[in-house]
Each structure stands twice: as structure tokens, then as C-alpha cells.
């Protein structure tokens, strides 16, 4: 069987570490198994550098056995029976056989150590993760037909799905995540159990759910994972804005299916990621969520048709709220929300009617997100009208060409006013304070509108602005003019 051949090849690759570790345990009278995801990945021919082992030795015995052999040892998970170690660049987690009991309320088990590999494998999440390899004999242990499930690309549970998900509801998210990461299909009984038990995901902390969602979105087929979440009802509790995009469509008020459109945009955004780079979680979140403001802004137009005015504004607010609840970092939240807010900006470009000023503002508003924004607006084209799609692609190309040209001439990455804060204060006789920041912002907007100005022109424009905004202000005695530069810098950072 090809899968077994792959596993043998992978085991040979790690054999020095595995053999040494197995010998240590055998000498002490204990068995040691490669287990779980490590076996699954070995069978798929893609074993990584993080290895999972299980043993009949108790945690304190494991600590004694690996101390002195490993390059480093840690016991952060020892309360749950896990000891960690590194050796020759490999990370090993060694866990004592488990036979846990769950209270059905939290996902924290009453830790109970087991005495057999079969008992340990039964408590694992899916049959494809419930296989083991006896490192001493190289024999496969597969009491729950994980090999057959792996070949069929099916996710099923060793125990009943109800038992498995009742023990740990996070496993429902893992089902969706493995669907994305491995391209597998959940067994019908697994999907049915997810539908009945979806609300139990609320027992899980938002942080743990967020980790699984992020891994799902960074998988090879995230659309399938999202679809399983939505079809099972899991998304109603984790990401309810996504199933809410399945808007009813009637013959008089037709529009694209927003949910299906968003899934296509997600796939097309992924296609635009550079080969060889890590999956772009921010871009993928923005692609999936860019239209979540549409349900709340949908208006039926008399005579037929539908409008979604300002859905990008509403959507950005919704993104912030949802991602905060999922405990994403502030950076991810703000970047995704900004992309959602800006994703319609391009549609005003038309056939190139934008002035250079509009192009500068587009670039400046996008900032470090410009490349992602360009990918998002390209991915947002899902029309089946080939002529329209080609016209849009030409417009995208034209805009990017103009951005490159203006950037080369004007260093758009660092747009600044033509006069700095110190010179503003000197010319206008201003003390440090908010008025200096307002003058700085005026000059920045002028720079965006007209491009670089020569010094005399910038001074003249500043003086004209001052006639309407400054009256009889003189520097305060004893104040350091340099403080104004700090004020301007603070204003600029907040701008």
C-alpha cells in the first residue's frame, strides 16, 4: 500500500531520533508509539518536525528517561500527561496513555491515565488521527480503520460523534479545519451530530475557536471548511455574519447570492497570493467578510433591483465587533476592517477617470495594505460576463500602472507636507499645539491633491490658509519650537 510506503520512508527520515527514544523506553520496560497527526502525516508523505508520541510510562518516568538524552526538556503540560523535548531539530511531545472522563460542561477532562494503546486511540478526535506505530516493532496499530478513512478522505470519529463532540465541542471546529487543511469530507453521521450539537461550541473559549478558524482559513481548501461550518450550523455561533449573507432572492429584486459570491472571492483572493509564501490570513478574512454589511443595508428599489448603499462602512464596523469577540489581535482587526472599508473605493475608477490626486489618496489611504487591497478588489470581480470581467481587469492593470508611475516620481510610500512642523511654526508664529497639526494636515492634503510643491508655493499656500484659520497668535514665551515638531508627529501618527 502506497500510504504504508510513505510512512516507512518518513519514519526512516526521523529514525535516528525515533530509534534512540524507543530504545530508551524499551530498556526501561516501556512501549513507545508514534501517534495521531504524526502518523497521519507520515502516511500522507509529509511528516513535519513536530512529533507526537504516546507511552505506557507515567509522566514522571518520561521526564527521567528523556532528561540527559534530549537537547531540552519542558514539563508545561505534565499535569495532562505530556512532556516536551527537542532533539536534533525535532520537537517531541510524549504523552502517557489517556482514558479521560469529561464532565459535559467544560472541555477540561478529569485526567485519567490508561494502560493500553487501543484505549488511548479511542479517545482521539478522528479515526485518521487514531492510528499509531509501535516504534520497537514498526507495526501499525489501527483499531478504528483510520487507514481506510485516510484513503477515502473521510473524517469520522473512533467513538460515536456524539460522545466525541460531547467530550470536546472544539472537535467540531477541528472537523471543519481538517476539511480545509486535508481536503477531506466529514462523514454523514459527523455532520448530523454537528447540526444537533453546534450550540455546544459556546462551551469553548473564544481564543481556542479563533485558533481553529485561523487554521481553517489558511488551509488549502478553506471554502470547504466554511461551507461545513455554515451547513452544520456551527457558523451561527462562531461567525454568524457569514450565514446571514444567504439572502433570499426573488424574481423582482434579483442580486448575486452574497454568500456564494463571498466564497468565490475568497478562492480568487487565494489564487492571487504569491507562490511560495505563507497563507495571508488578513487577506483571506477580508475576502470572506468584505460584504457582511450587505444584509443590514439591503434596500429594494421600486420597479425591481436591490441596493446596498454604504455596506462597506457598516461591514467594517461589523468586522471589528466580530473579530474582537473572537480575540484576534488589534493589528489583524484593524487591517481586516480597513480592507473591508476600502474595498469599494476602486469602483469609482471607471475607465481611468481618476485624477492623479485620487490615485495618491487611494495609495495613501491603503498605506501598507495597498498590495492586499489590490488583490481584494481584483478578487471581488465574480461576474460571468466575460467582456465586463476583461474590462475590469484592464482597469485594475491601468490603476496599478499609474500607481507605479506616480510612486516612482513622488515616493508615495512616504507622502509628507512640503513644510515640516518647525517651519510651519516659524512662518506663522505659532506655539506648539493643535493648530500646528491642522496646518500640517492642510499641507498634506494639498500635497495629495497637487503633488509636490516647490518651497515658495508651499509657503504661499500656508499663508493663504492662515488668513482664514489663524488670528494674532504669537509664540508663547519660553516654549521650545522643536516641541511643535513632536506635536505634528503625534498628529500625523493619529491621522
For residue 490, pLDDT over 60 is answered with no
- Percent of the chain with pLDDT strictly greater than 70: 85
- pTM for the structure as a whole: 0.79
What CA–CA distance (Å, rounded) separates 21 from 197? Answer: 41
Q: What pLDDT, in 10s, does the model give residues 126-138?
A: 999 999 999 888 8
Q: What pLDDT, in 10s, does the model give residues 332-387?
A: 999 999 999 999 988 777 666 787 878 888 888 888 999 999 999 999 988 878 88
For residue 260, count other CB atoms closer than 10 A to its CB. Answer: 14
For residue 489, count other CB atoms closer than 10 A to its CB. Answer: 14
Mean pLDDT of the chain: 85
Q: Band of the pLDDT at 479, cuts 50, 70, 90? A: very low
What CA–CA distance (Å, rounded) separates 213 from 264? Answer: 18
pLDDT of residue 437: 83
Q: Among the residues of 352-412, which ranges form H helices?
A: 356-366, 370-379, 386-410
What CA–CA distance (Å, rounded) separates 433 from 301? Answer: 49
Q: What pLDDT, in 10s, does the model give residues 85-141?
A: 999 999 999 999 987 655 556 556 667 788 899 999 999 999 999 999 998 888 889
What CA–CA distance (Å, rounded) separates 239 from 241? Answer: 6
pLDDT of residue 476: 37
pLDDT of residue 426: 85
Q: What pLDDT, in 10s, does the model give residues 73-86?
A: 999 888 889 999 99
What CA–CA distance (Å, rounded) separates 334 from 342? Answer: 12
Cell of residue 255, nine digits: 442580486
Q: Which residues pair with 32 in a beta bridge?
A: 55
What CA–CA distance (Å, rounded) separates 394 from 352? Answer: 10
Q: What pLDDT, in 10s, does the model give residues 7-64?
A: 555 665 667 888 899 999 999 999 999 999 999 988 887 888 899 999 999 999 999 9
pLDDT of residue 105: 60
Asked if residues 100 and 111 have their Cβ atoms less than 8 Å apart, the reply is yes
Lateral strand order in the sheet of 132-134: 72-74, 82-87, 90-96, 50-55, 32-35, 132-134, 139-141
Provide φ and ψ at 127, rounded to 5°: -60, -30
Taking residues 133-153, report their average pLDDT. 91
Q: For 350, left (φ over 0), alpha (ψ -120 to 50), or beta?
A: left
Q: What pLDDT, in 10s, does the model give residues 153-164?
A: 999 999 999 999
Q: What pLDDT, in 10s, does the model give residues 400-446?
A: 888 888 777 655 555 666 677 888 888 888 888 888 888 888 887 77
Q: What pLDDT, in 10s, does the model give residues 291-325?
A: 999 998 988 887 777 888 899 999 999 999 999 99
What CA–CA distance (Å, rounded) separates 171 from 161? Answer: 10
Inter-CA distances, 339 with 31, 238, 272, 335, 371, Å: 53, 21, 16, 6, 11
Cα 100 → chain centroid = 32
What CA–CA distance (Å, rounded) separates 319 from 444? Answer: 29
pLDDT of residue 101: 59
Q: Which is more confidently placed, 298 or 270?
A: 270
For residue 196, pLDDT over 60 is answered with yes
**Minimal CA–CA distance to 225: which of 240, 328, 214?**
214
Q: What pLDDT, in 10s, does the model give residues 207-221?
A: 999 999 999 999 999
Q: Which residues pair with 110 in a beta bridge?
A: 101
Q: Which residue segments constitute the domains of the chain, with CATH numbers given?
A: 2-150 (3.30.460.10), 421-494 (no CATH)
pLDDT of residue 478: 37
Asked if residues 126 and 157 have their Cβ atoms less than 8 Å apart, the reply is yes
The sign of the CA dihedral 270, 264, 243, 296 is positive
pLDDT of residue 121: 95
Asked if residues 145 and 127 have their Cβ atoms less than 8 Å apart, the reply is yes
> If you compute the radius of gyration of the chain from its CA atoms, what whole number of angstroms results?
30
Cα 53 → chain centroid = 29
452-470 residues labelled b (16+ CB within 10 A) or e (exposed): ebeeeebbebbeebbeeeb
Residues 6+ apart with CB under 8 A from 488: 420, 421, 424, 436, 437, 440
Amino acid at each position: 500500500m502506497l500510504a504504508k510506503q510513505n510512512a516507512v520512508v518518513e519514519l526512516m527520515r526521523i529514525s535516528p531520533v525515533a530509534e534512540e527514544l524507543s530504545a530508551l523506553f524499551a530498556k526501561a520496560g516501556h512501549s513507545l508509539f508514534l501517534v495521531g497527526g504524526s502518523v497521519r502525516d507520515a502516511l500522507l508523505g509529509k511528516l513535519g518536525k513536530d512529533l507526537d508520541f504516546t507511552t505506557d510510562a507515567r509522566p514522571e518516568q518520561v521526564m527521567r528517561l528523556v532528561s540527559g538524552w534530549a537537547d531540552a526538556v519542558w514539563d508545561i503540560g505534565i499535569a495532562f500527561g505530556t512532556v516536551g523535548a527537542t532533539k536534533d531539530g525535532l520537537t517531541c511531545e510524549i504523552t502517557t496513555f489517556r482514558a479521560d472522563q469529561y464532565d459535559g460542561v467544560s472541555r477540561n477532562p478529569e485526567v485519567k491515565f490508561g494502560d493500553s494503546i487501543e484505549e488511548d486511540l479511542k479517545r482521539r478526535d478522528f479515526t485518521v488521527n487514531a492510528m499509531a506505530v509501535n516504534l520497537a516493532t514498526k507495526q501499525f496499530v489501527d483499531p478504528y480503520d483510520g487507514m481506510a478513512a485516510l484513503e477515502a478522505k473521510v473524517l469520522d470519529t473512533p467513538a460515536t460523534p456524539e460522545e466525541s463532540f460531547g467530550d470536546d465541542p472544539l472537535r467540531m471546529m477541528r472537523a471543519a479545519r481538517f476539511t480545509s487543511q486535508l481536503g477531506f469530507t466529514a462523514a454523514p453521521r459527523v455532520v448530523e451530530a454537528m447540526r444537533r450539537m453546534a450550540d455546544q461550541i459556546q462551551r469553548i473559549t473564544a481564543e481556542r475557536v479563533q485558533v481553529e478558524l485561523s487554521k481553517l482559513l489558511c488551509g488549502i481548501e478553506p471554502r470547504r471548511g466554511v461551507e461545513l461550518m455554515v451547513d452544520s450550523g456551527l457558523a451561527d455561533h462562531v461567525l454568524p455574519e457569514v450565514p446571514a449573507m444567504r439572502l433570499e432572492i426573488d424574481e423582482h429584486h434579483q442580486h448575486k447570492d452574497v454568500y456564494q459570491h463571498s466564497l468565490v472571492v475568497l478562492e480568487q483572493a487565494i489564487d492571487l497570493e504569491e507562490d511560495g509564501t505563507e497563507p495571508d490570513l488578513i487577506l483571506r478574512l477580508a475576502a470572506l467578510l468584505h460584504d457582511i454589511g450587505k444584509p443590514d443595508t439591503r434596500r429594494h428599489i421600486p420597479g425591481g433591483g436591490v441596493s446596498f448603499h454604504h455596506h462597506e462602512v457598516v461591514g467594517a464596523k461589523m468586522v471589528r465587533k466580530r473579530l474582537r469577540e473572537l480575540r484576534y489581535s488589534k493589528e489583524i482587526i484593524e487591517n481586516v476592517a480597513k480592507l473591508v472599508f476600502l474595498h469599494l473605493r476602486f469602483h469609482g475608477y471607471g475607465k481611468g477617470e481618476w485624477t492623479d490626486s485620487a490615485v495618491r489618496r487611494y495609495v495613501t489611504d491603503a498605506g501598507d495594505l495597498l498590495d492586499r487591497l489590490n488583490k481584494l478588489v481584483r478578487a471581488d470581480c465574480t461576474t460571468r460576463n466575460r467582456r465586463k470581467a476583461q474590462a475590469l481587469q484592464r482597469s485594475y492593470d491601468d490603476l496599478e500602472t499609474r500607481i507605479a508611475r506616480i510612486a516612482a516620481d513622488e515616493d508615495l510610500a512616504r507622502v509628507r507636507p512640503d513644510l515640516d512642523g518647525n517651519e510651519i511654526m516659524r512662518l506663522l508664529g505659532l506655539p506648539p499645539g493643535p493648530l500646528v497639526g491642522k496646518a500640517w494636515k492642510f499641507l498634506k492634503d494639498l500635497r495629495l491633491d497637487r503633488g509636490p510643491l516647490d518651497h515658495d508655493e508651499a509657503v504661499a499656500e500656508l499663508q493663504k490658509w492662515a488668513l482664514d484659520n489663524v488670528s494674532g497668535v504669537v509664540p508663547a514665551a519660553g516654549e521650545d519650537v522643536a516641541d511643535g515638531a513632536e506635536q505634528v508627529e503625534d498628529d500625523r501618527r493619529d491621522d
